[in-house]
Amino acid sequence: MSGSPIRALIKPLASLRLTVALLACSIFLIFAGTWAQIDMGIWTTLGTYFRAFFVWIPFRIFLPRHWDVPGGIPFPGGWVIGGLLMINLVTAHAVRFRYNRKRAGILLIHFGLILLLVGELVTGLKAHESRMSIDEGQTVDFAEDTRSVELVIIDPSDPARDWVVAIPESRLHQGKLIHDTRLPFDVQVEAYFHNAELFEGAQDVATSAATPVANSGFAVELGAHARPRPPSSGVDQDEIDLPAAYVSVLKDGRNLGTYLAALYFTLVPRFGLQDVQVGDKTYRMALRYVRHYKPYSISLLDFKHDRYLGTETPRNFSSHIRLVDPTHNENREVLIYMNNPLRYRGETFYQASFKQGDGGTVLQVVRNPGWLLPYVACTVGALGMMLQFGTHLLRFIRRTRTA
Amino acid sequence: MNTPSRSARLLRTLPWLALALALLYAGAALLPARDGRFALSQFARLPIVDLGRPKPLDTFARSTLLIVSNKQSFYLAETDGTADRSEAKGHAERSALEWLLDVMARPEVARGYRIVRIDHPDIKAVLGADPERKYFSLDEIVLRRAEIEAQIQRANEVPAGDRNSYQRAILELAQHLSVYFHAESVAELLLVPPTAAGTEWTTITAERHQVDEHGGDSPATDAYLQVMQGWRDDDPAVFASAVAQYQQWLGTAQPRLMRKIDMEVRFNHAAIFLRAIGLYVIVFLLAALSWLRMTPALVKSALWVLCVALVLHTLGLVARTVIQGRPPVTNLYSSAIFVGWGAAVLGLVLERFYRNGIGAVTAAGTGFLTLLVAHNLSLDGDTMTMMQAVLDTNFWLATHVVVITLGYASTFLAGFLGILYILRGVFTRGLGAQEQTSLTRMIYGIVCFATLFSFVGTILGGIWADQSWGRFWGWDPKENGALLIVLWNALVLHARWGGMIRQRGLAVMAVAGNIVTSWSWFGTNMLGVGLHAYGFIDSAIFWMFTFVGTQLGLIGLGLLPLHRWRSMQATSQVRAPRSVKQPTAPPLAPPAPESPR
């Protein structure tokens, strides 16, 4: 049996040396992934280091940035190391599995670890985060994905409801002609910036060659132009990317106007949507966060932001909301506050932030089918460790007693 | 010259003597403060709300002076700028409380004291001052007000991440000055406790306004006016009667608050942790001496003094917990106190089992070092800070934070044991086969503990994160740091089980664990990223590098060929070559410590 080729193949996979090597690799990866966060946002780091198969680790991330040291090393990413650890763990138990009471602790620990890794895998693949921002007195039935935007064109002519055509960010490339049968006109993307800076006044020469000029809408009213800006880093949690696009409305080959659509306009209440005149019909346009509509609605009754006396240090945030879901015949009030989220229909609503002047709340909406796994994993793993190290300890104490 | 019986008797009494001295030293902490001419100890017990927390004026005075000048008292002679601190010793000393009274009642005098600490040479240049000086009076600074304000504004315009050291320093000065001005504006301090349910703390200005509008009493205003008067006129009787009368009123209006205030003043006065530092040093010396000449009396003395030190340390921890109404670890400072405590307790447990001084030395060493770290962290001001809303839950503070901090403590303890192994092995002949085995067993056991605590603590942190913002694991620097400790400990254990390292390897890797832990504890805060970054200090970076450097040096020592180790020369046994392989694949977890060297 021991000479069988499968055994020969599996044995190195099950070795403790591989375990130690993989643990060392994961330590280095995590260390590097921490340093990388000085320059990159946490989500970019997540994508390039941890939820990746391979990663290029530049030397410069460990050094003062102005040294500008070139070069780096390729390294296995989180998926590879995690996957190999999993294989190592499972084969080790398969090859050397002998159940007895002494092993129960180790088995439990490792089972807990497997659950943790699976949990992180499920989260990495399936979890979805969005935000719901509600002003006091407002009712909202959608959540926004603050990591992607869409260009929406709204036909408000139907008094009963707005008809919305949404163009996802992935289609907003420079030069792209967007044709949608629901729209009586085409949209030409003249330029798209993932992060843009808006400025007033004359366009300077350097940017004017690359960026088009808007001749309608907010841009003309405000005398505003957009220029690209590098993506924001994870160091400053308050900084966000503000995309902007120059788009032209084309009908029958004629350019009816070039507009500047910017997320900034959407986020500032006094701007909002801008009008797009097509013939005698007025459409409305905006670049806004991707919306996910819900079959239920949430109204914000009251938002509270308590501070410690005589300071600006926040003591507590809480959102008093009303949840209305006709499909489930739900209509009730809920208080969401720090460390006390609302769990509803597979999603969890957390108190995440608030609007300027405490006039509204921002709820983090998370759908993570694997959210329970870490809880189970923790319990199993901790039990295993207590069993394992506890028996060690007891044996040790007994020995010193008798010695 | 001593007869054997006399020295034996001396040795027998030594532990008792040590215990008695230690108890005396510790007990002195309980002695009440003695007043001079003024009833300062009663004034110290007047309440104020500062940084969101009701506290005695004693704490307010200490933390304000600490922030402004980096010390808790100063000598009047220093203030004319002719003498430095060492020369000024023996001259009239101004306690923080006396200084606060001067600031409140005689601001024009207090502004002449040279107590505002400025270190950055460029700021001294802006002030047009001698670069050798460290302390400046507010008068001197106000003289250059326009220029300083312009500099502060310029620095403020630069985004936080792009500021250079001068800009950071001038903004720090601005913050210190605002703390000073805050203390000077007596009428605007939250000195007046709520009188009825549903009302909040308020200021003297507001109390007077209230009386003007609606009539009634103004006990706080009356008291402070008289107290200030008494202090200005150098009239101890007026001062004392005003304070006593107000204290009486407070005692009936706010009995619970005043009990807590009283406890905090006693706690401040006792300087418990500084006393514990002193005792730990003594334990360290006693236990280390015991190895030069292995005397049970010395080991016993060390053990008993250690117990006193630990009781003191525990008392301090409990007092902080009670005063704050919080679990023991709430910020970087308290984590240092708790890491030291955890390591000292574990060290004591080891000593209880092995009785060879090793546990005592490690307990004393880790207790001393971490309390020293804590002491330096305390120079930032009040150490009982209020917490940001997201961190403000007793349940998770009591579970996640405490457990993860115990993880730090036990990893450090294992590392310290590793250092002992290396130092004793390389430089002395004291590391015989028996010591090697027992030290290895200790390290192994503590690493197991560390794995348990850091694993459970890290995952509890994940669960807290899931509860707070819906992300079990965010790959945030602090989370990653905690995970690194778990992974490192797991790596050490697996390397041991796999026979990849033996006794020496275990010791060396345990020392490397110190680096991992210091990274997780302090290093991750220095990156300035992440939701957990609860403290960032420039000079801390220097100490962090120094610590890592010493640990790397120790690892280098540990990797010296064994024939260079004095202990190994002494035993001169023939050892099996290191590359001997175990004949079969090891089972998943052999009881490692018994395996041969």
Q: pLDDT tens, A296-330?
A: 999 999 998 888 877 777 788 889 999 999 999 99
What local confidence, expressed as pLDDT, does residue B571 receive? 53
Reported ipTM: the value is: 0.81
Residue A36, min C-alpha distance to chain B (Å):
10
Largest pairwise CA distance in chain A: 99
Round the average pLDDT of chain B to a whole number and report it. Answer: 84
CA-wise closest residue to B115 among B187, B162, B64, B158: B64
At which residue do the structure tokens 């629901």 appear? A182
Distance CA B269, CA B258 (A): 16
What local confidence, expressed as pLDDT, does residue B290 receive? 81
Distance CA B105, CA B47 (A): 17
Q: Look at phi and psi of residue A69 and say left if phi exceeds 0, alpha if psi is from -120 to 50, else beta.
A: beta
C-beta atoms of B467 and A339 within 8 A? yes
C-beta atoms of A96 and B585 within 8 A? yes
CB B69 within 8 A of CB B94: no
Distance CA B415, CA B405 (A): 15
Question: Which range has the top average pLDDT, A172-181, B485-494, B535-544?
Answer: B485-494
pTM over 0.90: no
C-beta atoms of A30 and B487 within 8 A? yes
What local confidence, expressed as pLDDT, does residue B550 receive? 96
Phi, psi dihedral angles at B189 (to 5 degrees): -80, 150
CB A122 within 8 A of CB A391: no
When CB atoms are compared, the residue of A19, A374, A392 closest to B462 is A374
Phi, psi dihedral angles at B103 (to 5 degrees): -60, -40
Contacts of A235 in chain B (CB under 8 A): 161, 528-529
When CB atoms are compared, the residue of A19, A46, A374 closest to B494 is A19
Contacts of B481 in chain A (CB under 8 A): 34
C-beta atoms of A338 and B393 within 8 A? yes
Q: Which amino acid is at B558?
A: G
Residue A161, min C-alpha distance to chain B (Å):
34
Residue B3, min C-alpha distance to chain A (Å):
34
Contacts of A17 in chain B (CB under 8 A): 498, 500
C-beta atoms of B201 and A310 within 8 A? yes
Boundary residue ending a domain (A234, A268, A292): A292
CB A50 within 8 A of CB B475: yes
Contacts of B389 in chain A (CB under 8 A): 306, 314-317, 338
Q: What angle do CA A306, A311, A317 make, to 5 degrees?
A: 20
C-beta atoms of B459 and A378 within 8 A? yes
User: Between the CA of residue B41 and those of B46, B58, B95, B441, B474, what are the distances in Å?
Assistant: 10, 9, 12, 51, 49
| B 185-204 near A (Cβ less than 8 A) | 190, 200-201
- CA contacts within 13 A on the Cβ side of B384: 25
Burial class, B165, CB count within 10 angstroms (exposed 0-12 / middle 13-18 / buried 19+): exposed
Residue B458, min C-alpha distance to chain A (Å):
10
DSSP state of A119: H
Question: Which residues are registered as beta bridge partners of A317?
Answer: A305
Q: Grade residue B392 by pLDDT with cuts at 50, 70 and 90.
A: low
When CB atoms are compared, the residue of B474, B477, B484 closest to A27 is B484
Among A120-129, A146-155, B351-360, B576-585, whose mean pLDDT is lowest? B576-585
Distance CA B104, CA B182 (A): 10
**Does B205 reach chain A within 8 Å, measured CB to CB?**
no
Contacts of A23 in chain B (CB under 8 A): 487-488, 490-491, 494
Q: Are residues A53 and A121 in the same domain?
A: yes
What local confidence, expressed as pLDDT, does residue A28 receive? 96
**What is the rounded average pLDDT of the residues A364-384?**
88
Distance CA A37, CA B162 (A): 16
Q: Look at phi and psi of residue B581 and say left if phi exceeds 0, alpha if psi is from -120 to 50, else beta.
A: beta
Is the pLDDT at B509 greater than 70, yes or no? yes
Neighbours of A399 (CB within 10 A): 10
Burial class, B76, CB count within 10 angstroms (exposed 0-12 / middle 13-18 / buried 19+): middle
**Which helix (H) or strand (E) is A116 found in, with range?**
helix A104-126
Distance CA A295, CA A142 (A): 9
Handedness of CA A279, A284, A289, A292 (dihedral sign): negative
**Does B474 reach chain A within 8 Å, measured CB to CB?**
yes
Is the pLDDT at B83 greater than 70, yes or no? no
Instruction: Tell me the percentage of chain B whose pLDDT exceeds 70.
Output: 88
What local confidence, expressed as pLDDT, does residue A123 receive? 85
Neighbours of B325 (CB within 10 A): 10
When CB atoms are compared, the residue of A96, A234, A385 closest to B587 is A96
Minimal Cα distance from B480: which residue of A? Answer: A30
Q: Are residues A306 and A283 in the same domain?
A: no
Distance CA A60, CA A47 (A): 19
Helix (H/G/I), strand (E/B), else coil: A306? strand
Is the pLDDT at A126 greater than 50, yes or no? yes
**What is the rounded average pLDDT of the residues B266-280?**
91
Q: Are residues A120 and A174 in the same domain?
A: no
What local confidence, expressed as pLDDT, does residue B467 receive? 79
Residue B187, min C-alpha distance to chain A (Å):
14
Boundary residue ending a domain (A226, A261, A292): A292
CB A133 within 8 A of CB A355: yes
Distance CA B595, CA B597 (A): 7
Q: Are residues A99 and A171 in the same domain?
A: no
Q: Which amino acid is at B410?
A: S
Is the pLDDT at B161 greater than 70, yes or no? no
For residue A62, the enclosing domain spans 5-127+373-402
Interhelix angle B236-253/B255-270, rounded to 10 degrees, is 130
Burial class, B171, CB count within 10 angstroms (exposed 0-12 / middle 13-18 / buried 19+): middle
**Number of residues that make up chain A:** 403
What local confidence, expressed as pLDDT, does residue A202 receive? 62
Is the pLDDT at B578 greater than 50, yes or no? no
C-beta atoms of A339 and B52 within 8 A? no
Q: Are residues A309 and A356 in the same domain?
A: yes
**Number of residues that make up chain B:** 597
Minimal Cα distance from B201: which residue of A? Answer: A309
Instruction: Indicate the pairing of strand B93-95 with strand B73-75.
Output: antiparallel
Helix (H/G/I), strand (E/B), else coil: B425? helix
Interhelix angle B296-324/B358-377, rounded to 10 degrees, is 30
Interhelix angle A78-96/A16-35, rounded to 10 degrees, is 160
C-beta atoms of A382 and B455 within 8 A? yes
Q: Which amino acid is at B30?
A: L
Contacts of B590 in chain A (CB under 8 A): none
Q: Grade residue B87 by pLDDT with cuts at 50, 70 and 90.
A: very low
Question: Buried b / exposed e across A26-60, counting CB within 10 Å, b at 16+?
Answer: bbbbbbbbbbbbbbbbbeebbebbbbbeebebbeb
A12: CB partners within 8 A, 6+ apart: A18
Q: Are residues A153 and A243 in the same domain?
A: yes
What local confidence, expressed as pLDDT, does residue A150 receive? 92
**Does B390 reach chain A within 8 Å, measured CB to CB?**
yes
Among A59-68, A90-99, A232-241, A303-312, whose mean pLDDT is lowest? A232-241
What local confidence, expressed as pLDDT, does residue A237 receive? 53
Question: Buried b / exposed e across B276-299, counting CB within 10 Å, b at 16+?
Answer: bbbbbbbbbebbbebbeeeeebbb
Q: Are residues A297 and A161 in the same domain?
A: no
Structure-token pair, residue B374 = 């804590």
Is the pLDDT at B491 greater than 50, yes or no? yes
Between residues B65 and B586, which one has the greater pLDDT?
B65
Question: Which residues are registered as beta bridge partners of A260?
Answer: A246
CB B404 within 8 A of CB B482: yes
Helix (H/G/I), strand (E/B), else coil: A283? strand
Q: Are residues A283 and A179 in the same domain?
A: yes
Boundary residue ending a domain (A258, A292, A326): A292
CB B174 within 8 A of CB B152: yes
C-beta atoms of A309 and B472 within 8 A? no
When CB atoms are compared, the residue of B388, B528, B587 closest to A235 is B528
CB pairs under 8 A between A and B: 187
Interhelix angle A104-126/A78-96, rounded to 10 degrees, is 150
What local confidence, expressed as pLDDT, does residue B587 receive? 40
C-beta atoms of A17 and B190 within 8 A? no
Distance CA A192, CA A196 (A): 9
What local confidence, expressed as pLDDT, does residue B463 receive? 84
C-beta atoms of A378 and B488 within 8 A? no
Q: pLDDT by residue (tens digit) across B467-489?
A: 777 778 888 888 899 999 999 99
Q: Are residues A86 and A213 in the same domain?
A: no
At which residue do the structure tokens 């084309």 appear? A250
Distance CA B203, CA B64 (A): 18
Handedness of CA A78, A84, A88, A91 (dihedral sign): positive
Q: Are residues A53 and A96 in the same domain?
A: yes
Q: pLDDT by residue (tens digit) across B393-424?
A: 667 777 888 999 999 999 999 999 999 999 99
Contacts of B500 in chain A (CB under 8 A): 16-17, 20
Contacts of B516 in chain A (CB under 8 A): 27
- Please tell me chain B's helix, strand, coil percentages from 3-state DSSP, rounded to the nearest 5: 70, 5, 25
Q: Are residues A210 and A313 in the same domain?
A: no
Instruction: Indicate the pairing of strand A360-367 with strand A128-135.
Output: antiparallel
Distance CA B111, CA B183 (A): 12
CA-wise closest residue to A219 among A187, A173, A257, A176: A257
Domain count along chain A: 3
Query: Which contacts (CB < 8 Å, 24+ apart) does range B106-113 have?
Result: B106/B231, B106/B232, B107/B184, B110/B138, B110/B184, B111/B137, B111/B138, B111/B139, B111/B142, B112/B79, B112/B137, B112/B138, B112/B139, B113/B74, B113/B76, B113/B79, B113/B137, B113/B138
Neighbours of A255 (CB within 10 A): 11
**Does B498 reach chain A within 8 Å, measured CB to CB?**
yes
Q: Are residues A204 and A276 in the same domain?
A: yes
CA-wise closest residue to B360 among B296, B284, B443: B284
